[in-house]
Every structure is written in C-alpha cells, then in structure tokens.
C-alpha cells in the first residue's frame, strides 16, 4: 500500500446552485444526481489522489454553501486552506459576475497566493443553450488573476478529476517553493 505523501485542505466555493456539490460527488463517488439539495454551511468529504510521480495526496474537501446568508461563516471555513476550486455556472451569467467578490473575500482571509482553479461548470448545457458568457471575458479574467481555467460538467464528468489533480499539483508546487 502506498504511503500518503501530501495532505491538503481544499475548499470548493462560488455562488449558490452552480454545481459545487455535484462536482464533488462526481469526483468522490463518480455519481451525478438531478435532485438539487443546497448545502447548509459546509459539508466535508475526502479522497486520495494518485499522482504521476507515484505519490499519494489526501484531499480533505470542504463543500461550502453559496447562499449569502452563510457568508458570515466563511472566515472560519477558510482557515488552513491549501487550495480552492472557484465555481460558476456557464448557463447563468450573473454567477460569473459574482466570482470576483468570492475571490476578493477569499484573498482577504487567506492571502493572495492561494492556489485556485476557476471552473465554469455545466458545460454539457452549452450545445443546447449556446454560449451565455463571453469566452474572451473569462480568458481576460483568468489572465489578470494568473489562474487556470477549466470548463467542467458534473453531469458527464468532463474535466472534474482534471480540476482536482491540477489543483493538487499547484498546491504541491507551492509547498515545495516554501
């Protein structure tokens, strides 16, 4: 049995109903449910990731509710965070507009150099509804923030595991630089 080399706290944040819980359930259980149940405060899950290096990283994943009424709890949830998946919904433009507020709040709590990946979720809807959010705007935002961006679909599983693995690599790189 391989030894766990790294252990990280990952938070998944973003506006309400963007698919944060669905992304986590796809990653942890490889399942998707159409039944929506919003997260009250925070839920916790964990999974080990096998890296190409042969090492194992244990991720403690915190699913943080996106409702504004829980915003006062965020400071305590952000403590000791190593990395972040910041999620918006590709089918609802206003969720992309809210991302900057989430990122500023995060950086106020944990610092500017926190590794994060910006995720546009629900890419499976794009063929039916078309592009709602200007891709150039997303790319410009990512460039300014010096971040990685991925389209994902919790429904199909597209790039969900990639997001967690890319974030894990960023967290390891940051740790090695210290």
In order of their start, the domains of the chain are: 4-177 (3.40.50.300)
In order along the chain (178 residues), what is the average pLDDT of each group of 10 residues? 84 94 96 69 83 90 69 66 97 97 91 92 94 95 96 98 97 91
- CA 89, CA 178: separation in Å to the nearest integer? 34
Model pLDDT, residue 2: 66
Model pLDDT, residue 40: 47
Model pLDDT, residue 111: 78
Model pLDDT, residue 34: 75
Model pLDDT, residue 120: 98
Work out whether strand 42-50 and strand 56-64 pair parallel, antiparallel, or are unpaired.
antiparallel
Tokens 């997001």, located at residue = 163
Model pLDDT, residue 101: 93
Model pLDDT, residue 116: 96
Say if pTM beats, i.e. exceeds, 0.75.
yes
Model pLDDT, residue 74: 53
DSSP string, 106-166: HHHHH-TT--EEEEEE-GGGHHHH---S-HHHHHHHHHHHT-EEEE--TTT-TTHHHHHHH
- CA 16, CA 38: separation in Å to the nearest integer? 8
Q: Decide: 10 and 141 in contact? Cβ < 8 Å.
A: no
User: pLDDT digits over 100-116, tens only?
Assistant: 999 998 998 887 789 99
């Amino acid at each position: 049995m391989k030894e766990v080399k790294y252990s990280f706290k990952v938070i998944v944040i973003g506006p309400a109903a963007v698919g944060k819980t669905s992304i986590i359930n796809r990653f942890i259980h490889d399942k998707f449910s159409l039944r929506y149940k919003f997260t009250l405060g925070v839920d916790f899950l964990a999974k080990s990731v096998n890296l190409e290096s042969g090492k194992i990283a244990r991720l403690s994943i915190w699913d943080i509710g996106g409702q504004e009424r829980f915003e006062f709890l965020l400071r305590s949830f952000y403590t000791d965070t190593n990395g972040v998946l910041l999620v918006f919904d590709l089918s609802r433009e206003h969720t992309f507009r809210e991302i900057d507020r989430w990122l500023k709040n995060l950086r106020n709590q944990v610092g500017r150099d926190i590794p994060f990946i910006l995720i546009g979720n629900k890419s499976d809807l794009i063929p039916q509804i078309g592009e709602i959010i200007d891709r150039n705007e997303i790319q410009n935002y990512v460039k300014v923030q010096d971040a990685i961006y991925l389209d994902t679909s919790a429904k199909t599983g597209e790039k969900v595991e990639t997001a967690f693995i890319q974030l894990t690599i960023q967290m390891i790189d940051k740790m090695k630089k210290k």
